[in-house]
A and B are shown apart, each in its own frame.
Chain A
């Protein structure tokens, strides 16, 4: 159970406070309701590039990192297709420094040319390091546009290509800031050795005077229902053949979300899971096999991926995956197996409460979903899932006509 108090400033900034006196630390987490899905298709990778620029100094404070390190704090951030999340951890007695820094960059950035120039380079190196210079690193750059034709999930957070980042201008940066970085589009969570009254006073003091800005109304193009099997083959300098199959699944707030999560657990969580035992151990077709969900806010993907054992043909490997999926469609998951994955989820949720930062991030994310209290109702939602639910969604999901398959082949197999 993660307790919290909640209030909203006059300018629309939502604030949640999680008091935890067992730690001498405090966390200040700010989630901005903007991700790669909000980008212009011709200027992709921008939300993430912008996240880097948020560390390049703000209107009144030339350096973001230095004053924070000076008070014993650390920070980082991440961008996804849905959100951009910034966090600070620091000794709680220096909490005000976090308010000072975060409020100033919400007020306005310094918009330094030097910072833009450098971060364009840094992000291009990140693009190379994580996506281009790694075996299988570009899978998501291929799989997304195969699975999505209209929705903005068709590009990855890093962007479609290096040139989009290289061409970003200061004008773009300023427009993006104005559109998305204001109190109405943000959720702040303060946690740790703090008191709600103290947080209220600090929030009013530092964030209260920031103009509300214009609320961004998201209006994304919806993906059409997929009605044909999609297939793409790539060859690359990799040692093993691999297969990636993406199926469409509903949005995060669908009541079936929890059933999908458990479905992926039945198939692939740990060494007692079905794909591991059947495909890797018994049939020895794969040296690596996984199933997971993308957990995106809009309609997402259910992915099955594996690396083939040398000598196994793609046809045999693919058939074996489908046989396991067919089983999910034709047979109910036995009660003990369902209980097993539910017990595991319950335990994961208890262990996740060991981390202050995780708790703060989760509160912000669930508040974005509509109500932070949903975080405390997760276990209940998982426990309600029935074997019939899992069979039903398997039938709705695992069809060739809603699948996008990427064959990733070695050059010898080209």
Chain B
């Protein structure tokens, strides 16, 4: 007779294998890291550029250049670029994040030779036509208007600005910043940032000798260097800040609280990630268990640690019923106090260890995820031993060590607290 009350036997994840990146260089010394897998006949190529020449007077130039990269070159209009890429079934994406701007190409290998010259044209000869800029400004301002009606978006903006002020990490973008965009500034920024000496290429998939040659032919030559200065920020400790923006009609309030903490390079980072998982980093976390599953105040609540190049931060975020906002806040702070004052039980800690190891294994789903893992370490100056140490820490950290970390980092007396809605 089957005993359904008895859980089947299980094992903790023992080994996690990483597909390590192999480094090579184009003729012009642009580093190319290949994360190889021959499973599918396709490749993802990422061209990653550091954000440079930060200028508070022109906070949108890096963002606009990235978004408008495919809006026309001397040879091709925006429409022609899109048509040609689409014709080959390829995907061209641009992304701006706090520290980097990137261009990503996804293509089947059989079309690589055809699409690479288009990407080269875009990355080295983009022109930012004035009429395209006008359309960009108009439509981005409209998108901003819609976003400013969303409480969670407002809470993110306020929180980042409170922590990081007028840097690329925290600047509060308003409609006027779009109006101030000038074509000349974009062209200047483009030439500074999208240069071979500021570029790292990550190739993942079935990327072989033949493909490397194609890449080298296009990007290894006829591409001008620049002397841009990589952004560098430093941040002082912040005092406690409380920001409240009342929205009379709000059905829910967006809450975001936290502080500047540490990034991946710090020795406490892995431990803090484990602590964060216990508090609010997975579905079974304490915040979810209390504020969603017990009280029903919210559809979701979570916490996280974000690692940027020049800083890291810890945050708790949720949207809760406007009528229970004060109660939800009280419960959040209560959970923080408990994790600072009481040892995590072995049972809970074991669960979190196993969950995190399984989650790490599962996050290596395909060759692209292996490449993402490489980017995490490479751009923070770490090696693969980072992951070995991380896994070791997950397996062996003690409840006492976690409590010490809680008291070191969850110092609510200097937390920034943002509430948008009603309280």
* B178–chain A nearest beta-carbon distance, Å: 12
Asked if A72 contacts B2 (CB within 8 A), the reply is no
Inter-chain CA distance A355–B368, complex, in Å, is: 10
Interface assignment of B330: CB less than 8 Å from any CB of chain A: no
Asked if B284 contacts A121 (CB within 8 A), the reply is no
A271 and B78 in contact (CB under 8 A), knowing A70-B10, A126-B299? yes
Q: Which residues of B contact A97 (CB under 8 A)?
A: 7-8, 10
Asked if A288 contacts B139 (CB within 8 A), the reply is yes
Inter-chain CA distance A348–B87, complex, in Å, is: 13
* B362–chain A nearest beta-carbon distance, Å: 5
Q: Which residues of A contact B106 (CB under 8 A)?
A: 347, 351
Asked if A70 contacts B354 (CB within 8 A), the reply is yes
Q: What bracket does the count of chain A residues touching chain B fall in?
A: 35 or more
A344 and B366 in contact (CB under 8 A), knowing A72-B355, A91-B13, A237-B149? no
Asked if A69 contacts B145 (CB within 8 A), the reply is no
Please tell me which one of the listed residues B40, B148, B355, B367 contacts residue A69 in the complex, with CB atoms under 8 A apart: B355
A67 and B89 in contact (CB under 8 A), knowing A128-B251, A277-B79? no
Asked if A239 contacts B142 (CB within 8 A), the reply is yes
* A221–chain B nearest beta-carbon distance, Å: 32
Asked if B142 contacts A287 (CB within 8 A), the reply is yes
The segment from A22-30, A31-39, A181-189, A321-329 that touches chain B is A22-30
Asked if A70 contacts B355 (CB within 8 A), the reply is yes
Interface assignment of A14: CB less than 8 Å from any CB of chain B: no
Asked if A96 contacts B8 (CB within 8 A), the reply is yes
Interface assignment of A316: CB less than 8 Å from any CB of chain B: no
Q: Which residues of A contact B355 (CB under 8 A)?
A: 69-70, 72-74
Interface assignment of A81: CB less than 8 Å from any CB of chain B: no
Asked if A237 contacts B146 (CB within 8 A), the reply is no
Inter-chain CA distance A346–B41, complex, in Å, is: 13
Q: Which residues of A contact B81 (CB under 8 A)?
A: 271
Asked if A340 contacts B149 (CB within 8 A), the reply is no
Asked if A125 contacts B252 (CB within 8 A), the reply is yes
Q: Which residues of A contact B12 (CB under 8 A)?
A: 72
Interface assignment of A280: CB less than 8 Å from any CB of chain B: yes
Inter-chain CA distance A117–B350, complex, in Å, is: 30
Q: Which residue in chain B gives the minimum CB-CB distance to A162?
A: B251
Inter-chain CA distance A94–B13, complex, in Å, is: 9
A272 and B83 in contact (CB under 8 A), knowing A65-B283, A117-B296? yes
Asked if B359 contacts A74 (CB within 8 A), the reply is yes
Q: What bracket does the count of chain B residues touching chain A fall in?
A: 35 or more
Against B, the Cβ 8 Å flags (1 = close, 0 = not) of A80-124 are: 000000000111011011011001100100000000011111111
Asked if A61 contacts B40 (CB within 8 A), the reply is no
Asked if A69 contacts B284 (CB within 8 A), the reply is yes
Q: Which residues of A contact B362 (CB under 8 A)?
A: 25, 72, 74, 89-91
Q: Which residue in chain A gives the minimum CB-CB distance to B292?
A: A122
Q: Which residues of B contact A269 (CB under 8 A)?
A: 86
Inter-chain CA distance A124–B298, complex, in Å, is: 9
Asked if A125 contacts B365 (CB within 8 A), the reply is no
Asked if B354 contacts A71 (CB within 8 A), the reply is yes
A271 and B293 in contact (CB under 8 A), knowing A237-B249, A240-B146, A281-B135? no
Asked if B89 contacts A344 (CB within 8 A), the reply is yes
Inter-chain CA distance A99–B7, complex, in Å, is: 10
Q: Which residue in chain B gives the minimum CB-CB distance to A93?
A: B11
Asked if B82 contacts A287 (CB within 8 A), the reply is no
Interface assignment of A133: CB less than 8 Å from any CB of chain B: yes
Asked if A125 contacts B358 (CB within 8 A), the reply is no
Against B, the Cβ 8 Å flags (1 = close, 0 = not) of A115-150 are: 001111111111011101111100000000000000
Asked if A135 contacts B251 (CB within 8 A), the reply is no
A351 and B42 in contact (CB under 8 A), knowing A133-B151, A133-B251? yes
Q: Which residues of A contact B149 (CB under 8 A)?
A: 134-135, 237-239
16 sample A-B contacts, Cβ–Cβ < 8 Å, listed by A number: A23-B365, A61-B5, A66-B284, A70-B10, A75-B283, A89-B362, A122-B296, A134-B149, A205-B2, A238-B146, A270-B82, A270-B86, A271-B82, A284-B135, A307-B142, A309-B138
Residues of B in contact with A (beta carbons under 8 Å apart): 2, 4-5, 7-13, 17, 39-42, 70, 78-79, 81-83, 85-91, 106-108, 135, 138-139, 142-143, 145-146, 148-151, 249-252, 282-284, 292-299, 319-321, 350-352, 354-355, 357-359, 361-362, 365-368
